[in-house]
Structure 1
């Protein structure tokens, strides 16, 4: 048996697979996000440990014998979070999360230093880790002075599991401290943030062993002591391992809380001017590019909260037949936007509202707006040297066939739906645990699932959606001008 632990923003998921990669069972525990000020997003790192205990406790009730047979653990987690630890191993302050935008000024200052784009291959986005530490230095200097280690969220979980401060390449590429081409920490980037290598965890590849399970934790969780914990991956790279998106021309569109258009590469292809992320992949000698939308299904969740209507009910009201773009348009910038704008201050908007604009019209606008944001990422990827021919859909939004047909039509690409099963980040983490435990061939393990169905673009509506995308593109500069 092999265990994958995926630390998400809203929950911790545990998933067990056997040596044939069949899913034996899964469990999850909820997590909450604190937003003490506008633009802030924080989480208590100790809640991650509590959630892991809760999920494994649920497992123990029905899968105790399976847990006792686990031979390896893999980790996945939301990226960029700044988890600061003092010399006694205590958490200094709540983790500043990936969708926190308070450090936009510090990000701009670091980004103006040419070594950052040159070495990391990326813009220094406000959500990345380095500007968060610069913010701490300026706004919480006493806390900053106590920092002994900076860990990414899943690596804090590893510290509890193994007692070791270790990270891996895919997650560390999103800190702005990694030379992404060389796959190593860079002293100059760290110094520009007021840090040095002593503040960083050791680095391994995602497929390698990165610590062993401590005996006291093993006894508590019902797992064998000493089993290896794999390096693991950031959540998107872990999802790619779960989907088998590990080779050239493999791509997926993730309709999750955030939206990601992810393409695997056998070469390092940075192009920071496009606002596309160029990161290390979890497998050795591989990289990936991705366009990132900060509020994908989160936009629908927001509308759900405002209307007191479940997201599935909202999309269900649209029916099963794709309609031409509506008169209402939506910019999904509820938390700012990364690709292609790199704008932490921009906020979302509806345009074209009329007396006739009912709840379904707003839902349609949200669905279309998120699809247009994916089109922005598709064009940014093309600018960065990667042209996609098809994508596989994953994430909660992929359960809506209406949304998928809209996405296929807006992207003008076939969208594949994988066969039934869980191929997300927890599954990818479990695969990495298997590879590390058995020294298995990563490419033999990280295969692609069979395709259950393919959604093709609606050719009759293609021109109408192209024209609507043009109107969508014109809204951002208009809204930015009004907000500046």
Structure 2
């Protein structure tokens, strides 16, 4: 047998999936923990996780997926890694973690990025980084340097979450151009490490790992890691990408003009541009896509809404006795516009689409005589869709029009209301596919290890599950009302 293994480090769970290289089918998948992984918030604006938990759950997920597939270690021909973007893992010279990982929704470094943007100069930052330094990995490290100098003094390498897992598997501290760009360490004008930002923050270039290709040999599984994961020593790690570039890849979104979306922990619309495009206000962000090269530009334009999965989970806890499927069914019984209820889903830290403001979540227009749980269930889904549309308008200003949006048939895209609302307000057809981040990483591993000759072969078995075309209804009217509430809030 020839299986490909994908591991996806999320902030809610870690998932592993085994794909049959010949059929493209998933033969075993598992995720841990069974409940959502804890995010530490020791102070307001902080969001931390222990990388050792990622390692623990990655091992459990791989073992379970292998067991379900009946796979032997030698059956796995390559490993791919997807991971939550923008995180910071600091390790010493013995590769020991020095402090909790500062993850994607942590907002403590916002002032550092804003100061760098002003002092380096907006033109220099936008031309080179395609973004403000913002709240990304480089600024997170600047926060460590300023506030935890005893930890900074011990730092040998800084790693993104996927770089860290790759190091645990291969013993080597490495990174990719796509990863460096998401951390604000890549200069697109020179197509090299962003020396000007490194110098500004006072970082040695030695803190960055060796650059390896996104698709290709990034190292081999060590004897120790093989024993830990139940794999064969020498198995190549041959693909690595942040969760949103990887989600786009998993949907075969590789060409300029193509658009992907996801609505899990965060809500994302991600489009591919053939230019080094950027938003001057960094409300949406530009990163090197998985197939970006100096001579063949592929930049991913990413809109991220932090308050997506956490709002849905918060509402489920509030409902008490309902499953997510029952919430989806209830939402269908309420009218478009939720009977006048408006939800702003911005309760999970600073939102980049709002220029790093923290406006908090709001539920507006409640009428105790008319509204029930169905209206709330619909309003939260509409609020998330409308926040995505708000950012999609920025992407359209950058030339990112789209007649269709591809998504995996998972999370909120399992909701008929969510899909129909997104199609109705955007005017785009929604295409749903049978894939996820772990399967995308497995497919990428096959491409990187040359199990697949090219992307056409890699995606020939990608299964289309359904299509949702825009329907008539007062979707735009409801969105404009929502946008009016947002403008009052900010």
How many angstroms does 1:473 deviate by? 1.9
Please tell me whether residue 124 in structure 1 is matched to residue 124 in structure 2.
no
Alignment of structure 1 residues 286-365 onto 2, 5 Å = 286-308=298-320, 309-319=322-332, 323-356=336-369, 357-365=371-379
Aligned counterpart for 1:473 among listed residues 471, 483, 486: 483
Deviates more, 1:180-189 or 1:288-297: 180-189
Contact 2:351 2:358 in 1 (8 A): no
Query: Closer, same or farther in 2 for the Cα pair 1:8/1:90, shift >3 Å?
Result: same
**Whole-Å Cα distance in 2 between the matches of residues 335 and 373 of structure 1?**
13
**Whole-Å Cα distance in 2 between the matches of residues 397 and 4 of structure 1?**
22
Contact 2:157 2:206 in 1 (8 A): yes
How many angstroms does 1:442 deviate by? 4.1
Query: Closer, same or farther in 2 for the Cα pair 1:377/1:439, shift >3 Å?
Result: same
How many angstroms does 1:347 deviate by? 0.9
- Partner of 1:209, secondary structure, is coil
Query: Closer, same or farther in 2 for the Cα pair 1:97/1:288, shift >3 Å?
Result: same
**Whole-Å Cα distance in 1 between the matches of residues 251 and 72 of structure 2?**
24
CA offsets 1:411-444 (integer angstroms, 9 cap, x no match): 12211222xx3x1211111112112222744422
**Whole-Å Cα distance in 2 between the matches of residues 165 and 59 of structure 1?**
26
Alignment of structure 1 residues 368-379 onto 2, 5 Å = 368-379=382-393
Please tell me whether residue 109 in structure 1 is matched to residue 115 in structure 2.
yes
**Whole-Å Cα distance in 1 between the matches of residues 380 and 417 of structure 2?**
12
- Partner of 2:400, secondary structure, is coil
Pairs aligned (count): 473
Query: Closer, same or farther in 2 for the Cα pair 1:193/1:310, shift >3 Å?
Result: farther
Alignment of structure 1 residues 169-184 onto 2, 5 Å = 169-180=177-188, 182-184=190-192
> Displaced runs of 4+ in structure 1, greater than 6 A?
none
Contact 1:119 1:181 in 2 (8 A): yes
Question: What is the root-mean-square deviation in Å for CA atoms of aligned residues?
Answer: 2.0
How many angstroms does 1:365 deviate by? 1.5
How many angstroms does 1:322 deviate by? 5.8
How many angstroms does 1:340 deviate by? 2.6
Aligned to 2:397: 383
Contact 2:28 2:68 in 1 (8 A): no
Contact 2:8 2:81 in 1 (8 A): yes
How many angstroms does 1:274 deviate by? 5.4
- What is the TM-score of this pair, normalised by structure 2? 0.91
Aligned to 2:5: 3
Please tell me whether residue 155 in structure 1 is matched to residue 168 in structure 2.
no
How many angstroms does 1:134 deviate by? 1.5
CA offsets 1:91-135 (integer angstroms, 9 cap, x no match): 110000001112221121122222322211013332x11121111
User: Which residues of structure 1 form unaligned runs of 5+?
Assistant: none
Deviates more, 1:59-68 or 1:268-277: 59-68
CA offsets 1:277-333 (integer angstroms, 9 cap, x no match): 111111243321121111223221111122323332222112368634531101110
How many angstroms does 1:64 deviate by? 5.1
CA offsets 1:337-363 (integer angstroms, 9 cap, x no match): 535312242211111122233222222
Query: Closer, same or farther in 2 for the Cα pair 1:214/1:183, shift >3 Å?
Result: farther
Contact 2:310 2:348 in 1 (8 A): no
- Partner of 1:273, secondary structure, is coil
Query: Closer, same or farther in 2 for the Cα pair 1:146/1:229, shift >3 Å?
Result: same
User: Which residues of structure 2 form unaligned runs of 5+?
Assistant: none
How many angstroms does 1:446 deviate by? 4.5
- What is the TM-score of this pair, normalised by structure 1? 0.92
**Whole-Å Cα distance in 1 between the matches of residues 30 and 88 of structure 2?**
26
- Partner of 1:176, secondary structure, is coil
- Partner of 2:310, secondary structure, is helix
Aligned to 1:398: 413
Query: Closer, same or farther in 2 for the Cα pair 1:445/1:259, shift >3 Å?
Result: farther
